[in-house]
């Protein structure tokens, strides 16, 4: 059976490629890449001549048919734009297919923006929670982050240049975050490592380009109570506006990506308090 190699690549500085990763890229004939334009720069730098395919089709769907066709008879390398595959990308779908067809799946470790940022963040913890990119709506963000705020572990997220300021403001306003760690363009020419007040970060990274890793921690142990109060208000407002019963619970569950049972329990508690 052929092998699927999951290869970690540099997150910016091409010199961070490992010897084993280079040897693997040079010995295979086929490479599956998240963005062939980005990956070709790496391959060109190290004179790698393997044929490269995008993990996406022209209509942005996963290129599963081509993947199955190649791996059925050939060893195949899977790489992403930068860093370790499987972190905020669809590598898992391809791994599942390869495993279901009994191909050997071999990890070739490389650079990770998550662990690289955490190693210089200064946070002291036995672990951290990695959330990737946050949802777009504020209510979904609140729900998503609050699930992890019950522990004292730091939270690590990715953010784009278009949303970095709005996200920092969101963390400041909704979760009362005062101190933050931000790494911009790690290992690249314009790398910036910041640790300090969120107000200073807002000034420093205004109108910035590049990709960001943001790390923060729950500084307000009462935050979960304020979130529950916010959800309760949404329930009450929705009911008063005429959205009742199952329809209200279904709508809130969909909008917040929260189990319907949570809102049902909150509604019963609100109802019981009002009847007392």
Question: How many whole angstroms separate alpha carbon 2 and alpha carbon 23?
Answer: 17
Question: How many whole angstroms separate alpha carbon 160 and alpha carbon 184?
Answer: 10
pLDDT for 227 equals: 65
The stretches of 46-176 forming alpha helices (DSSP H) are: 64-71, 91-100, 113-119, 138-146, 164-175
pLDDT for 246 equals: 76
Helices (H) and strands (E) counted in the chain, each on its own, are: 11, 10
Of 8, 30, 12, which Cα lies nearest the Cα of 21?
A: 8
| Whether 181 contacts 194, CB under 8 Å | yes
Residue 209's φ and ψ, nearest 5 degrees, are -105, 170
| Whether 145 contacts 50, CB under 8 Å | no
| Whether 96 contacts 71, CB under 8 Å | no
pLDDT by residue (tens digit) across 66-86?
A: 999 999 999 999 999 889 998
| DSSP β-ladder status, 76-79 and 30-33 | parallel
Q: Which DSSP helix (H) or strand (E) runs through 195?
A: strand 192-197
Give every CB contact of residue 51 below 8 A, 6+ residues apart in sequence.
29, 30, 31
- Dihedral angle of Cα 226, 230, 233, 234, to the nearest 10 degrees: -160
Question: How many whole angstroms separate alpha carbon 185 and alpha carbon 199?
Answer: 20
Read off the tokens for 141: 């963000």
Question: How many whole angstroms separate alpha carbon 97 and alpha carbon 264?
Answer: 38
Sign of the torsion angle spanned by Cα atoms 240, 243, 246, 248: negative
Q: Which residue has the tokens 């997220």?
A: 157
pLDDT for 274 equals: 61
Residue positions counted in the chain? 276
| Whether 151 contacts 127, CB under 8 Å | no
pLDDT for 261 equals: 72
pLDDT by residue (tens digit) across 3-52?
A: 999 999 999 999 999 999 999 999 999 999 988 999 999 999 999 999 99
Q: In which residue ranges of the chain is pLDDT below 70?
A: 220-228, 239, 244-245, 256-259, 262, 271, 273-276
Read off the tokens for 14: 């091409």
| Whether 240 contacts 188, CB under 8 Å | no
């Amino acid at each position: 059976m052929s092998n699927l190699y999951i290869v970690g690549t540099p997150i910016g500085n091409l010199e961070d490629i490992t010897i084993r990763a280079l040897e693997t890229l040079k010995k295979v004939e086929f490479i599956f890449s998240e963005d062939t334009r980005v990956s070709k720069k790496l391959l060109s730098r190290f004179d790698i001549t393997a044929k490269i395919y995008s993990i996406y089709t022209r209509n942005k769907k996963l290129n599963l048919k081509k993947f199955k066709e190649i791996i059925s008879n050939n060893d195949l390398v899977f790489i992403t734009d930068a860093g370790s595959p499987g972190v905020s990308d669809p590598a898992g779908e391809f791994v599942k297919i390869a495993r279901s067809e009994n191909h050997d799946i071999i990890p070739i470790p490389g650079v990770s923006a998550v662990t690289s940022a955490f190693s210089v963040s200064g946070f002291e913890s036995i672990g951290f929670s990695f959330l990737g990119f946050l949802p777009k709506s504020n209510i979904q963000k609140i729900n998503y982050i609050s699930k992890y705020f019950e522990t004292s572990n730091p939270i690590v997220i990715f953010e784009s240049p278009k949303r970095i300021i709005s996200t920092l403001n969101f963390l400041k306003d909704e979760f009362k975050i005062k101190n933050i760690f931000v790494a911009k363009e790690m290992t690249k020419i314009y790398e910036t490592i910041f640790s300090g007040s969120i107000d200073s970060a807002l000034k420093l990274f205004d109108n910035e380009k590049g990709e960001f890793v943001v790390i923060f921690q729950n500084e307000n142990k009462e935050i979960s109570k304020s979130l529950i109060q916010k959800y309760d208000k949404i329930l009450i407002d929705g009911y008063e506006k005429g959205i009742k019963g199952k329809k209200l619970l279904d709508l809130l569950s969909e909008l917040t990506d929260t189990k319907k049972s949570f809102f049902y329990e909150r509604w019963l508690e609100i109802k019981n308090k009002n009847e007392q």
